Chains A and B, each alone.
Chain A
Amino acid sequence: MVAEQAGLIAIGAGIAIGVSALAAGWAESSIGTAAIGAMAEKESLFGKGLILTVIPETLVIFGLVVAILIIGLAG
């Protein structure tokens, strides 16, 4: 029974990080495409493009924090 609960907790944590990573990847793909397009026009936009591209990275960070919380909650 204990093992079962531990397994469910692990699955919960996995979903938290996995889905948020997918979401971030999805968001970054379209931003990245646009950023590359803009850079092709004007190379000096590299810095801004890079920063805009990693903005959705926050999603994964929150996902990771939530995953850690879930594991922590279970003790």
Chain B
Amino acid sequence: MKPEQMSKCRIVAAKTQLSCVINTLYDLGLYHITPHVKGAHGLEELDIGAPQQNAEELSKLLVGIRAVLAQFPVVSTPKKLATLTPEAFEKLIRTTQRFCSDITALLTTKNTLVAQRDQLVLKKEQLALLASFKLDITALLSSKILGVVVGRASRVEEAKVLFDTEKSLQTQWKGDVVAVVYMRNQEVAVRSLLSTIGFSAIVLEEFVQSQSASPQSMDQLLRTNELQLKKVQQELEIVNIKLRKMHEELPRLAGLENHLVDEIRKLELPLVFATTQSSFVAQGWVPTSQEQNIRAALTHATKQNVHIEFEKPDHHEEPPVKMKNFRLAKPFESLLELYSIPSYSEIDPTFMLWITFPFFFGFMLGDIGYGAVLAILFYVLRKKLPASAKPLLTVLLFASFVSIAFGFVFGEFFGFEHLGAESGKALCDSIGICFHQVTLLEHGVSTVVYEFPHLLSRAHSHVNVFGFELLTVLVIGAIIGFIHLNIGLIIGTINEWQHHGFVHALEAKISWMILESGAILGVMSTLHLIPLHYLVGVVVAILGVVLLVIGEGVQGIVEIPAILSQTLSYMRLGAVGLAGVGLAVVINEKLALPFIDRGGIFIFIGIIIMLLGHLINLLLGVIGPFLHGVRLHYVEFFSKFYRGGGVTYEPFAKSRQSSQTRK
């Protein structure tokens, strides 16, 4: 019921043993390191260590590798690196450095070539366009008297009308592209005219001047362009082939990335150690059960050149928390992680959650059909989703099984509590499953139905409490709440007893139970259920209050009404379920059945309404019971004993991070 016991572990060795110790700790994966703070108690004088020699170089390489991998968005599965000798690793680092710079250079070349190619293709299109005009554009451009502009007009119709009126201009159209030949002395007028028709020019000078001093014909220009384009494309092809070959190396590169991340963590680990000129001190926590393993592994690796000491944690210390639960309850730790993990010295309530959470969930959902659908859904999701979601889905899978069980208790199947007269009879005659036959009387109309067997009908079963007719499930909810809260108080008592002694436990926790018993005694004697004077109960209750005030002060008095409202809060166990049943009944009987009764095409509509309705109800049926189930634990139950705020036990070990998760 308590977290795994921890021991403080201090390792002292010469700096020559540094990498040896670090590698051993890494392989063991058990050492939760407490970073050294200069001036910390006991080791005031010592400085923090410096990273080992290769750290900077490897960090640079890692940055390089990540830059390369970022260029290839298709994530390649990282290939696991074989174990390497230091020399082989050194060699791998060199080749990788070269590989990274090569591939970066190739990528740059590729980008330049692509840009060149695009430009040439554009130029080719434009040249082809110019060639299609019956004009010697190269000659016109070098002319002193005539000028020419070519470009796209956005308002073609308008432009055509305009050019028709301007007799001094020669125009030729190809689609929305126009070539305008004009007298050089009219240049300004032409430009302003062109600006009115939304004209965007193709820069002609570029084509002619870029070639050679002597003006060339259109054909020549096209031919040179073609040649250049072919050359660029060939170069690009070569680069692509090279890149494709390098692409095969990427999984190994990704594997190396993962390896490097861990390698760098190892090299930088001295940053959290305390060091002197020639020795170092590491401090951390290990599970007490592993002490011997750690001692053996370290002495073996360093050939006994190490000093190790283990210590029990002091009262004021907060060792990291590693929850210890048996296999079935383990997934329920995720519910605690969602809130706050227990502190080292208190009781780990995972075991309680394992019992009560599925019970609450099942009690609220309680339907064979819904439970079965959810069980299948969570089972499939558990297979499909990443490992991090697995514990929570296991919890929910568990809960859906309990829902099915409660479905049998309540006799509910997708909100139906009974079969119609005909289908019930048919089932009885054909398969031999005969349900109990009852006659329902509703709004003066009696119908014969076949009821599913059940222990308790949620929607109809009532009990009489002090003269009030109450739904049984609500009352059961409150009773469960009373029990649950008192279990919380008992756990709280154990916690307080262990930390602050019996007297404090009596004042802070047991006082609540005394108060409760006083109240119960009082009520029962008033109702003449027990032969006592009601003052006995009052005296007991006052005793509880007095103890409470001593233990928790005025705050205790303020919280007295809370115990009542918290118990009543457990009525939600029944109420959430009733809301679900209500919705299901509305879907089945008020929405779908009227359609189905009409027959023909309406049956189809009825089925669609049922499918949609139950889908919505199922969705609410997951969210509601989950949130309320969790909340009853966090708010009501935990307030009786739980403090939380533990530090997660995170030993220095192989990191789980991998390129697979990188997107």
Q: Give chain A's interface residues, CB within 8 Å of chain B.
A: 46-48, 50-51, 54-55, 57-58, 61-62, 64-65, 68-69, 72-73, 75
**In whole Å, how far is A45's beta carbon from the nearest beta carbon of chain B?**
10
Q: Across the interface, do A51 and B470 meet the contact criterion of CB distance under 8 Å?
A: no
Report which of B338, B571, B628 forms a contact with A57, defined as CB distance below 8 A.
B628
- Residues in B with CB closer than 8 Å to A55 are 631, 635
Closest chain A residue to B573, Cβ basis: A61
Listed by A's residue number, 28 A-B pairs whose Cβ atoms lie within 8 Å are: A46-B338, A48-B339, A50-B627, A51-B630, A51-B631, A51-B634, A54-B627, A55-B631, A57-B572, A58-B565, A58-B572, A61-B569, A61-B572, A61-B576, A62-B568, A62-B571, A64-B575, A64-B578, A64-B579, A65-B474, A65-B571, A65-B575, A68-B470, A68-B575, A68-B578, A69-B470, A72-B462, A72-B468
Bound state CA distance, A47 and B572, in angstroms? 20
Residues 447-476 of B, flagged 1 when their CB comes within 8 A of A and 0 if not, give 000000000000000100000111100100
Q: Across the interface, do B339 and A47 meet the contact criterion of CB distance under 8 Å?
A: yes
- Residues in B with CB closer than 8 Å to A46 are 338
**In whole Å, how far is A73's beta carbon from the nearest beta carbon of chain B?**
8
- Residues in A with CB closer than 8 Å to B578 are 64, 68
B557-590 residues with Cβ-Cβ distance < 8 A to A are: 565, 568-569, 571-572, 575-576, 578-579
Identify 7 new A-B residue pairs, CB closer than 8 A, beyond the known A64-B578, A73-B469: A46-B338, A47-B337, A50-B627, A68-B470, A68-B474, A68-B578, A72-B471
B471-529 residues with Cβ-Cβ distance < 8 A to A are: 471, 474
Task: Decide: A58 near B569, CB < 8 A? Known: A51-B631, A68-B471, A72-B468.
Answer: yes
Bound state CA distance, A50 and B579, in angstroms? 21
Closest chain A residue to B334, Cβ basis: A47
**In whole Å, how far is B391's beta carbon from the nearest beta carbon of chain A?**
13
**In whole Å, how far is A19's beta carbon from the nearest beta carbon of chain B?**
16
- Residues in A with CB closer than 8 Å to B339 are 47-48, 51
**In whole Å, how far is B569's beta carbon from the nearest beta carbon of chain A?**
6
**In whole Å, how far is A23's beta carbon from the nearest beta carbon of chain B?**
15
Closest chain B residue to A48, Cβ basis: B339
Closest chain A residue to B633, Cβ basis: A51
Bound state CA distance, A48 and B635, in angstroms? 11
Bound state CA distance, A61 and B577, in angstroms? 11
6 smallest beta-carbon distances between A and B, as pairs: A47-B338, A61-B572, A72-B469, A64-B575, A54-B627, A61-B575
- Residues in B with CB closer than 8 Å to A75 are 469
- Residues in B with CB closer than 8 Å to A57 are 572, 627-628, 631
Task: Decide: A61 near B635, CB < 8 A? Known: A50-B627, A68-B578, A69-B470.
Answer: no
- Residues in A with CB closer than 8 Å to B470 are 68-69, 72
Closest chain B residue to A72, Cβ basis: B469
Task: Decide: A51 near B635, CB < 8 A? Known: A57-B628, A58-B569, A64-B578.
Answer: yes
Q: Give chain B's interface residues, CB within 8 Å of chain A.
A: 337-340, 462, 468-471, 474, 565, 568-569, 571-572, 575-576, 578-579, 627-628, 630-631, 634-635
Closest chain A residue to B627, Cβ basis: A54
Closest chain A residue to B634, Cβ basis: A51
Closest chain B residue to A67, Cβ basis: B575
Closest chain A residue to B576, Cβ basis: A61
Bound state CA distance, A50 and B634, in angstroms? 11
- Residues in B with CB closer than 8 Å to A61 are 569, 571-572, 575-576
- Residues in B with CB closer than 8 Å to A65 are 474, 568, 571, 575
Interface hub of A55, A61, A68 (most chain B Cβ within 10 A): A61
Bound state CA distance, A17 and B626, in angstroms? 22
- Residues in A with CB closer than 8 Å to B568 are 62, 65
- Residues in A with CB closer than 8 Å to B340 are 48
**In whole Å, how far is A36's beta carbon from the nearest beta carbon of chain B?**
16
Bound state CA distance, A68 and B628, in angstroms? 19
Bound state CA distance, A64 and B468, in angstroms? 16
Closest chain A residue to B469, Cβ basis: A72
**In whole Å, how far is A54's beta carbon from the nearest beta carbon of chain B?**
5
Bound state CA distance, A73 and B627, in angstroms? 30
Closest chain A residue to B565, Cβ basis: A58
Q: Across the interface, do B468 and A69 meet the contact criterion of CB distance under 8 Å?
A: yes
- Residues in B with CB closer than 8 Å to A47 are 337-339
- Residues in A with CB closer than 8 Å to B338 are 46-47, 50
Interface hub of B468, B575, B578, B627 (most chain A Cβ within 10 A): B575
**In whole Å, how far is A51's beta carbon from the nearest beta carbon of chain B?**
5
- Residues in B with CB closer than 8 Å to A54 are 627-628, 631
Closest chain A residue to B338, Cβ basis: A47
Closest chain B residue to A17, Cβ basis: B579
Bound state CA distance, A51 and B468, in angstroms? 33
**In whole Å, how far is A12's beta carbon from the nearest beta carbon of chain B?**
16
**In whole Å, how far is B286's beta carbon from the nearest beta carbon of chain A?**
26
Bound state CA distance, A55 and B631, in angstroms? 8
**In whole Å, how far is B594's beta carbon from the nearest beta carbon of chain A?**
21
Bound state CA distance, A47 and B462, in angstroms? 36
- Residues in A with CB closer than 8 Å to B337 are 47
Closest chain A residue to B579, Cβ basis: A64
Bound state CA distance, A48 and B341, in angstroms? 12
**In whole Å, how far is B600's beta carbon from the nearest beta carbon of chain A?**
35
Bound state CA distance, A18 and B619, in angstroms? 22
Interface hub of A65, A72, A73 (most chain B Cβ within 10 A): A65
- Residues in A with CB closer than 8 Å to B634 are 51
Bound state CA distance, A46 and B474, in angstroms? 30
Bound state CA distance, A51 and B518, in angstroms? 33
- Residues in A with CB closer than 8 Å to B571 are 61-62, 65
- Residues in B with CB closer than 8 Å to A73 are 468-469
- Residues in B with CB closer than 8 Å to A64 are 575, 578-579
- Residues in A with CB closer than 8 Å to B572 are 57-58, 61
- Residues in A with CB closer than 8 Å to B469 are 72-73, 75
Bound state CA distance, A55 and B639, in angstroms? 14
**In whole Å, how far is A22's beta carbon from the nearest beta carbon of chain B?**
16
Bound state CA distance, A50 and B569, in angstroms? 18
**In whole Å, how far is B559's beta carbon from the nearest beta carbon of chain A?**
16
Bound state CA distance, A75 and B579, in angstroms? 20
- Residues in B with CB closer than 8 Å to A69 are 468, 470
Bound state CA distance, A51 and B504, in angstroms? 30
**In whole Å, how far is B284's beta carbon from the nearest beta carbon of chain A?**
23
Bound state CA distance, A61 and B568, in angstroms? 10
Closest chain A residue to B471, Cβ basis: A68
**In whole Å, how far is B463's beta carbon from the nearest beta carbon of chain A?**
11
Bound state CA distance, A46 and B469, in angstroms? 40
Bound state CA distance, A58 and B568, in angstroms? 10
Bound state CA distance, A68 and B474, in angstroms? 10
- Residues in A with CB closer than 8 Å to B565 are 58
Bound state CA distance, A73 and B471, in angstroms? 12
